[in-house]
Structure 1
Amino acid sequence: MSNAEQLSAPMVAEQHSMNGVIPVTTTFSIQKHAFNKERYPTYENRVEDLEALKSAIHREKENLLNALVKDFGYRSHEESILGDIFSSLSTIDYTIKHLRQWMKPQRRKVGIVFQPAKAEIHYQPLGVVGIIAPWNYPVFLTIGPLVAAVAAGNRAMIKVSEFTPATNAVLEEMLSSVFANDKVCVVQGDANIAKSFSELPFDHLLFTGSTQVGRHVMLAAADNLVPVTLELGGKSPVIIDSDIPLGEAVKRFIYGKTMNAGQTCVAPDYIYCPHDRVDSLVKEIDHRYESMYPSELGDDKRTRVINAKQFDRLMGYLEEAKAQGAQVIHLGNLDVKPEGGFIPLTLILGAKPSMKVMQEEIFGPILPIVGYQSVQDVIDSINNNPRPLGLYIQSFDKNFQRRFLKETHAGGVCINDAAFHVVVDDLPFGGVGDSGIGSYHGVEGFRTFSHCKSVLVRGKLFFSDMLFPPYGKKMHHLFNKFFVGG
C-alpha cells in the first residue's frame, strides 16, 4: 500500500500548534489516566459505544461521501459506499453480534497432576492503542481498527493521513460527537506529527501503509517495546490456469483492480497467464473494462489518482517500461490527464523483472501481464519474492488450487475472486513477511487489542504440595507414574 507519510523527518517533541491543538503527548497522558480509572469497560458500555458510532456513520454518510469526492478529485458515491461506508457498518454489526461471546472467559484443560484446579483465558483490554490510518480508504481503515479497539475495551488515538483533509474533518467531528477526547481522538498533521505519534508508548500500535514506512513505525515502536500490527502491501499476483474461460477469469478479478483506481492494498498487482493465452487475455480485459466503464461517458466520473506525487510515480513506471521495450496499452480509448490525475486501466506486456513496476507495489491502475510456461515456474517466482498480501487463483481445477494453497505463502487467498476476502467479517486480515505482521477483523481483531491473560484457580483442596521439597518416595512415585510411565 503506498502511503506517502514518511516518518524520517526530524522529531518534533511537542506539537504546540498555533490553533491550540493539544500535543499528542498530552492527549496520550489524558487517555492513559482515563483508562487507569476504568480498566475493564462492561459489555453494555462497549455495545453502547459501537451503536453510537454506527448511528453517527449513518448520520454523516452524505458528508463523508462528498468529502471523499473532494479529496480524490472524483470518486463515485457507489464506490465509496462499498469500500468505506458499507464495510465500516458491516464491521460494527458483526462485532456487536459476537462481542458477548468473545468476552467470555475461555476454559482450558488442567493436567491430572495439578488437579483439582480450573484454567481460563481472560481477555483484558490493553489500554491506549494507536491507529495510523492511510489515505486510500480513509473511513474504513480508520473505523475498522477503531471498532476492534473499542470492542476490546481500549481507548484509541487515530493519526489520519494528511492527504485526505476533507474526509479527516468529517471524521474528527463525527467521532468527537460519539466519544469524549479521553476515549477516542483524531490526530491530524504532517510527517513530523506522524513520527511523534509512532514514538508514543502505546499499549499497541496498528499501522496501515507501505512496507517502507512500516519499517520506520516498527523501529519507533521498538524503543518503548510497543507491540505492533502492520498492515502493509506488496505485489499480489493473479494466477490464471490453462483451462478457465478467460472471460470468466477476468470477471472475477477486474473489479478488485479497478476499484478506487487500483489504490487498494489488496488490489491485483500483476497477472501470471499461460503464455499462449496472453493475447486473448488482453482482449477479454479490454472488453470487460469497456463494459464496466464505457469510454463514451468520458473520464469525468472515474476515480482519480490521489495527488500529483502518486501520479508522477505511476507515470514513471510506464515511462521506464516503454524505454526498456515493454508494450504499454491504455484501455478504454481514453487519454492520460495529468491535470486531473486520471490514468485509465493500463496493461503492460513484456515487463522485465528488473523494472520498478515489477519490483515495487504499483498501487494504481497499471496491470502487468507475465506469460508463463509451467505452473512450477510461477510457484518458484512467487516464492523467490517477498510474500504478498493477497494471492488470487483463477481456476476451477482443485489440484491447481491445492498446489498454490500448499506451496506458496500469502497474507490471504481468493479462489476465483480477488481482493474481497478483506470485507468478509469472519476472516482475519493481515499480511506475512514484507506484507505485514499480525491481523485483525472479527475475533482476531478483538484478540489483537486484548491481553490474553492466563488464570489458574484453586479451591479448598490442594494436593500439589506433594511435588514440593523435601523430595521423597511420593514424589518419585508420581514422577514415575505420570512422566516416565513406569
Structure 2
Amino acid sequence: MGATVVQLTDSKKQIQHTHRVFKDQNRAFRNNPMPSLTERQENLKRLKRALLNYQERLVEAMDRDFSCRSRDESRIAEVMPSVQGINYALKHLDEWMKPSKRHVSVLFRPASNKVYYQPKGVVGVIVPWNYPLYLAIGPLVASMAAGNRTMIKMSEYTPHTSALFKEMIEGSFPEDLVSVITGEAEVAADFSGLAFNHLLFTGSTSVGKLVMRAAAENLTPVTLELGGKSPAIVSSDVPLADAAQRLAFGKAFNAGQTCVAPDYVLCPADRVQGFVDEFRTQFSSMYPSLRDNDDYTAIINERQYQRLQGYLDDARAKGAELIEINPARENLKDGTRKIPLTLVLKATEDMKLMQDEIFGPILPIVSYSSLDEAIHYINDRPRPLALYFFGYDKAMQQHVVDNTLSGGMCINDALMHVAQDDLPFGGIGDSGMGHYHGREGFHTFSHHRAIFTKQRFNSGKYVYAPHGTAMHKMVYRMFIR
C-alpha cells in the first residue's frame, strides 16, 4: 500500500513537471519560431558531442536494464545509427531548409509559388524499451533539424538508460528546448494527452490506438511506429545458407525484441528441413553458447519472459513441433531470462504466436507450394511493418514488390532498411502511419506552408466582378478546355 501511494505521488509530481515544461517550451517557441540554420546545426553538434561522451555509460546502462544486453549490439543498433543520423542531417540540413519553388499557372502570373518548411512547435516523442537510445535520438534529430522544441517520454522499463539519458540531455540543452520525462504508465498516458504540435509514438499497436485517441482530442497529428508480424519469404531457388544466415542475424539480434524482426518464415514445403538445418548451423556459428554469452541478449523483464514462455507452451499443447537451438545444451531456466532461439513447425492459426507479434527469439516456419500462395498468405493478414524476400531472381523480386504492401522491405537482407539514412521509415495500416529518418523526418516535423506571392501588377483583376465581360469570356475559352 505504501509503495503504491509513493508511486502515485511521484507520478503526480512528474505530471505537474511535464505540464510546466510544456508551457515553457511553447513560450520559448513563440519567442523564436524560426531558428536559423546555424542554430539548428549547433544543436545537432551539441547532441552528437553529448552522445559520444556518454556512449560507454549508455551501453552499460542498457546492459543493466536488460540484465544482459549485448554491448556490441548496443553500439551497432543504438549508438552508431544515432551518430550517423546526426551526421546525415548536418550534411543535408541546408538543402532541406530551402523553400521549394513550385509552378505558377499562366492564369495567375506574374507571381511566385513556394513551399516554406517551418517548425511545427513543440513535439512529443514516446520511446519504447527495446531500443531506448536510438528510438529517442532518431526522432529528436528529426525534430531538432526541423527547428522544433522536443519533449521525450522514456520507458519505465529501462530505468537506468532513461535516467542517464535524462542526465545527458539536461547537461546539454536548456529545458525549454529539449526535455526528458520519466515516470510510470500514468505519466505516459497524461503525456499523450498534451496538445503537442506533433506526437511520435513507437510501440505496440494496442497502445498506439490509445495514443491516437488521446491525440485526437487536441487534433494533434501523429506518427505511429508500431509493429506486427513481419514475414520473410524464402524463394524456391535461393541458396538456403544465404537466407538462413541473414534471417538468423535478424531474428537473434536483441533476442528478437525488434519491431522489424522477422516474425515468421514462409518457406517452400520441400525446403523446410533444409532451411531448419541451415538455420541451426548459422545461428550456432554466431552463438556457440547462450547462458554466459554476452553477445546473446536477455529478455527485458519477467513479464515479457513469461509471455514468450506462454506462447511456447500454447504452441506445444496445440501440436507444434518446437526446435530449440541451444548449441551448448545449457540450462537457461535459472533466472537468466534467456530463451534459446526456437523454430516452430506445424504452427496453426489458433496458436497465440501466429496471432500476436512475437517480439522474441521464436520463429514459426510456414510452408507454401507457390510464390503466389505465399503472397496471398501475407495479404490476407494486417499489413506488416517490414517484409523480407530472399531470392536472386529479379523478376521474382519485382513480383513480390508489386503484389504486397508493407511499411518497408529488404530484398536478401533483414533489418538493414531501418539503418538507411536516405530511406523513410514507417508503417502502414496496423503497423503504423507516417514516416521519419533523413529528409522524411525533417518533413514530418515541419509545416509545409504554401505561399503565393504577387507584387504590384494584379492580373487577377480581369476576373473580378462585374462578370460577363469580353475578358471573362476569353478567360473561359482559354482555361476551361
Range of TM-score over shorter length? over 0.9
Matching residue of 1:188:
182
Deviations 1:409-466 (A, max 9, x none): 0000100001110010000000000000100001100000000000111122211110
Query: Contact 1:239/1:272 (CA < 8 Å) preserved in 2?
Result: yes
Secondary structure of the corresponding residue to residue 205 of structure 1: strand
1:393 aligns with 2:389: yes
Shift, 1:325, TM fit? 0.6
How many angstroms apart in 2 are the aligned matches of 1:308 and 1:252? Answer: 29
Deviations 1:238-295 (A, max 9, x none): 1001101100111222211111000000110000000010011100000001100113
1:40 aligns with 2:34: yes
Work out which of the residue numbers 192, 201, 206 in structure 1 matches 2:195: 201
Matching residue of 1:425:
421
Shift, 1:120, TM fit? 0.2
Shift, 1:375, TM fit? 1.3
Counterpart of 2:148 in structure 1: which amino acid? N
Counterpart of 1:475 in structure 2: which amino acid? H
Secondary structure of the corresponding residue to residue 357 of structure 1: helix
Matching residue of 1:9:
none
Matching residue of 1:272:
266
1:215-226 superposed matches below 5 A:
215-226=209-220
How many angstroms apart in 2 are the aligned matches of 1:138 and 1:351? Answer: 32
RMSD: 1.5
Counterpart of 2:393 in structure 1: which amino acid? D
Counterpart of 1:324 in structure 2: which amino acid? K
Secondary structure of the corresponding residue to residue 429 of structure 1: coil
Shift, 1:112, TM fit? 0.4
1:375 aligns with 2:360: no
Matching residue of 1:415:
411
1:262 aligns with 2:259: no
Alpha-carbon spacing, 1:296–1:34, altered in 2? closer, same or farther (3 Å)? closer
How many angstroms apart in 2 are the aligned matches of 1:152 and 1:398? Answer: 38
1:441 aligns with 2:437: yes
Identity %: 48
Alpha-carbon spacing, 1:117–1:13, altered in 2? closer, same or farther (3 Å)? farther
How many angstroms apart in 2 are the aligned matches of 1:440 and 1:248? Answer: 30
Shift, 1:302, TM fit? 2.0
Deviations 1:385-425 (A, max 9, x none): 00000000000011211111011100001000011100100
Alpha-carbon spacing, 1:361–1:394, altered in 2? closer, same or farther (3 Å)? same
TM-score of the two chains, using structure 1 as the length reference: 0.95
How many angstroms apart in 2 are the aligned matches of 1:386 and 1:187? Answer: 33
Deviations 1:66-107 (A, max 9, x none): 101100101121110001100100000000000000000000
Deviations 1:371-392 (A, max 9, x none): 1111121111111100000000
Matching residue of 1:4:
none
1:474 aligns with 2:471: yes
Work out which of the residue numbers 16, 25, 33 in structure 2 matches 1:31: 25
1:261-340 superposed matches below 5 A:
261-295=255-289, 298-299=292-293, 301-332=295-326, 333-337=329-333, 339-340=335-336
1:465 aligns with 2:461: yes
1:68-87 superposed matches below 5 A:
68-87=62-81
Deviates more, 1:23-32 or 1:199-208: 23-32
How many angstroms apart in 1 are the aligned matches of 2:389 and 2:463? Answer: 56
Counterpart of 2:449 in structure 1: which amino acid? K
1:48-59 superposed matches below 5 A:
48-59=42-53
How many angstroms apart in 2 are the aligned matches of 1:280 and 1:422? Answer: 29
Matching residue of 2:450:
454
Counterpart of 2:62 in structure 1: which amino acid? L
Secondary structure of the corresponding residue to residue 70 of structure 1: helix
For these two proteins, the number of residue pairs brought into alignment is 471
Query: Contact 1:335/1:343 (CA < 8 Å) preserved in 2?
Result: no
Matching residue of 1:343:
339
How many angstroms apart in 1 are the aligned matches of 2:69 and 2:478? Answer: 70
How many angstroms apart in 2 are the aligned matches of 1:156 and 1:188? Answer: 14
1:104 aligns with 2:98: yes
How many angstroms apart in 1 are the aligned matches of 2:31 and 2:294? Answer: 53
Query: Contact 2:424/2:441 (CA < 8 Å) preserved in 1?
Result: yes
Query: Contact 1:253/1:416 (CA < 8 Å) preserved in 2?
Result: no
Shift, 1:13, TM fit? 12
How many angstroms apart in 2 are the aligned matches of 1:24 and 1:37? Answer: 20
Matching residue of 1:239:
233
